[in-house]
Amino acid sequence: MATTMVEQRAAPVADGALLGTYRPAPPVFVRGEGVRVYDDAGRAYLDFVAGIGVNALGYGDASVRAAVERALSTGLIHLSNLYRTEPAAALAQMLVDASFADRVFFCNSGAEATEAAFKFARRWARSRGGEAKHEIVALRNSFHGRLFGALAATDRPAMQAPFTPLMPGVRFVDPGDPASLDTALDPARTAAIIVEPVQGEGGVRPLPADVLARLREAADANDALLIFDEVQCGLGRTGHLFAYQASGVIPDILTLAKPLAGGLPMGAVLLTGRVAETIQPGDHATTFGGGPLVATVATTVFARIADPAFLNRVRVLGEYLHEQLRELAASCPGIVDVRGAGLMWGIALDRPAAPVAAAALEAGLLVATAGERVLRLLPPLVIRESDIDEAVAILGEVLA
């Protein structure tokens, strides 16, 4: 029997058919507008998670909506990489024009971007040193995704343990310990170093420019590539279009995902010409990558974020948020550290962060965690100072 809209809304959501890979919070969200989301009882929540860094332009953005409608009007939601389409080519050109890169590969998520980056790095390395030159060097506290290669380079033994054997050939180094770099890298074995310029899931840890520079030097000295994973910290999040631009250290490969297509699934791998020229047709592929709908929306999102005035505003808001968090920390002994960049901040606590995030949700604020004792703030990049005041006031109450 058909149900009316009202009956559907009133019915409790039965999510028992969903696989238990998540532990979602109780509210059922039905709508978003600006920097707020609304549950099925009509309650508003200020969103400092933004879909884990995805919803950079907030909710209901008019330019994203217009881009979706423009793409739909062509009838080509998807075609195939067997054929040429304009939006993917245009988006790739925009990314190349704005970055160090010469070529771009599109995929559908952050973890897929990591996997593709590893394949491209190994392809390049094989052309230099044969099969032995295949190792990936990753950093302590890293997170690169949940697929087998990405998980192998993710420094979370508990996440890895149930699924071993993972992709072999990964070594971990402590970025603060140059000796560990010397031991891990070897020109005969190493294909690439992978690093998040601002580590996200591992506790929101910006890597100092001199550490990134040391990784660049180590890669060069060992005839290896440097991969920057900017899935979380890229595309305006730090107040720079790409996080690497703040450090002056230039990678050979860079991965993007989260905000790229305004909430539609899309990842990208940016490569220099010397890596790209080792990749042949058939070396890698994905059915959906760079389809006309997602690519059209991404060109709109990218143009918005790449606008210098937009990035400048993110930097201003980032400084304001930092200042407010420093003040909060000064009056709140439970906060042991505040760290981040732009609109990506971690609040390290003296206690588990999950109950604090749950209390913030009760009080009308969405915040994420990063590891056991860190609260993570990733608001939409279009927040205002008054939203920051409101969020910090709620955090102050729940931490008091």
Residues near ligand PLP (CB under 6 A) are: 52, 109-111, 114, 143-145, 196, 200-201, 229, 231-232, 257
The Cα 135–Cα 116 span in angstroms is: 15
Query: Nearer to ligand PLP by C-beta: 4 or 21?
Result: 21
The Cα 344–Cα 322 span in angstroms is: 10
Considering the complex, what minimum distance in angstroms separates the CB of residue 308 from ligand PLP? 25
- Rg (C-alpha) for the chain, rounded Å, is 21
Half-sphere exposure of residue 2: CA atoms within 13 angstroms, side-chain side: 2
Residues 6+ apart with CB under 8 A from 64: 57, 262, 263, 297, 300, 301
Considering the complex, what minimum distance in angstroms separates the CB of residue 157 from ligand PLP? 18
Query: Nearer to ligand PLP by C-beta: 52 or 90?
Result: 52
Residues 6+ apart with CB under 8 A from 245: none
Query: Nearer to ligand PLP by C-beta: 335 or 374?
Result: 374
Query: Nearer to ligand PLP by C-beta: 35 or 204?
Result: 204
**Residues 276 and 103: beta-carbon distance below 8 Å:** yes
Structure tokens given for 290:
């760079």
Segment (H or E) for 50: helix 50-53
Query: Nearer to ligand PLP by C-beta: 34 or 202?
Result: 202
Considering the complex, what minimum distance in angstroms separates the CB of residue 222 from ligand PLP? 23
Considering the complex, what minimum distance in angstroms separates the CB of residue 231 from ligand PLP? 4
- The SS3 of residue 43 is coil
Query: Nearer to ligand PLP by C-beta: 144 or 373?
Result: 144
- The SS3 of residue 30 is strand
Considering the complex, what minimum distance in angstroms separates the CB of residue 359 from ligand PLP? 23
The Cα 24–Cα 50 span in angstroms is: 15
**Residue labelled with tokens 């929540």:** 45
Structure tokens given for 263:
């909430």
Segment (H or E) for 128: helix 110-129
Considering the complex, what minimum distance in angstroms separates the CB of residue 232 from ligand PLP? 4
Query: Nearer to ligand PLP by C-beta: 52 or 358?
Result: 52
Query: Nearer to ligand PLP by C-beta: 227 or 392?
Result: 227
The Cα 349–Cα 128 span in angstroms is: 46
**CA trace torsion 153, 155, 161, 166 (10° rounding):** 10
Phi, psi torsion values for 161, nearest 5 degrees = -50, -45
Considering the complex, what minimum distance in angstroms separates the CB of residue 368 from ligand PLP? 10
Query: Nearer to ligand PLP by C-beta: 52 or 279?
Result: 52
CA 51 to chain centre: 10
Kindly give the pairing relationship between strand 103-107 and strand 198-199: unpaired
Considering the complex, what minimum distance in angstroms separates the CB of residue 390 from ligand PLP? 26
**Residues 98 and 304: beta-carbon distance below 8 Å:** no
**Residues 227 and 194: beta-carbon distance below 8 Å:** yes
Query: Nearer to ligand PLP by C-beta: 34 or 200?
Result: 200
Query: Nearer to ligand PLP by C-beta: 155 or 201?
Result: 201
Considering the complex, what minimum distance in angstroms separates the CB of residue 154 from ligand PLP? 8
Residue nearest to ligand PLP (CB): 110
Considering the complex, what minimum distance in angstroms separates the CB of residue 198 from ligand PLP? 9
Checking phi first, is residue 302 left (phi over 0); if not, alpha (psi -120 to 50) or beta? alpha
Considering the complex, what minimum distance in angstroms separates the CB of residue 284 from ligand PLP? 16
**Residues 145 and 134: beta-carbon distance below 8 Å:** no
